[in-house]
Amino acid sequence: MNDQYSNFRGFAIIPLPAFRDNYLWLLRRGQDAAVVDPGDAAVVEDYLVQHGLELRAILLTHHHADHVGGVAELVARRDIPVFGPAAADIAETNRPVVEGDEAVLDRLGIRFRVLEVPGHTATHVAYLAPGILFPGDTLFSAGCGRLLGGTAAQLHASLGRLAALPEETAVYCTHEYTLANLAFAHAAEPENRERDAWETECRALRDAGRPTLPSTIERERRVNPFLRTSEPAVVEAVAAHAGKRPATSEECFAALRAWKDVF
């Protein structure tokens, strides 16, 4: 995979595929690196060795094994900061973070602001720098995470918060779910030309062996039904599926999420 897959202000952001559909995002400036949600240590170590890099920090968004499973091995021989949500009680976290904290990666020249975005889990966080968002499993392209510890109300609020970020913000989601999410988006909002154009682009990317990510906040506002639960077409589709018209955007979101769970 192209080492210069995504460049931002002097550093590269590189997707390391893992498991069936995860991306472990590696940030690199010169020979210094950090990694987000390293569920598989071997994937990270192989890349570091191949490119002669030193791992300087780890960022964790939540406690699920496919996001933290490689941390213990990665830190066994390294004294490096491991940022993670304070309330998640992840054993290897030595820099617990809460809303408003900063994750400072000095060697890479990056400062991330911590956002608490519960819903997928009750203790989920995201990391935001100007123009860059690592949302973990909260936000996917054309989709969002399942409710695995948090509530629909929490996830609806968290997604609303992310949707309000600057439109040019690049969204580095942690799973290659885009085409599957777009299939559901057709049911949730049958007519959406921008969504259809994005699907065409994504199919070409996957046919070329490339990720569909990062997306952008602007794109997700236009194509992601979970960010569009006030749109009349989405409300109508949810009402038709559920047999009851949602009274609020939050109710629409909860019904939409439940629908996606069985789609």
List, by residue number, the catalytic residues: 62, 64, 66-67, 120, 137, 175
In 3D space, the residue among 226, 227, 9 whose CA is nearest the CA of residue 108 turns out to be: 9
Tokens 């720098």 — which residue?
129
Tell me which long-range contacts 109-113 makes (C-beta under 8 A, separation of at least 24).
109/10, 109/11, 109/29, 110/11, 110/27, 110/34, 112/59
How many other CB atoms are there within 10 angstroms of residue 111's CB atom? 14
Peptide bond into 214 cis (omega under 30): yes
Indicate the pairing of strand 143-144 with strand 22-29.
unpaired
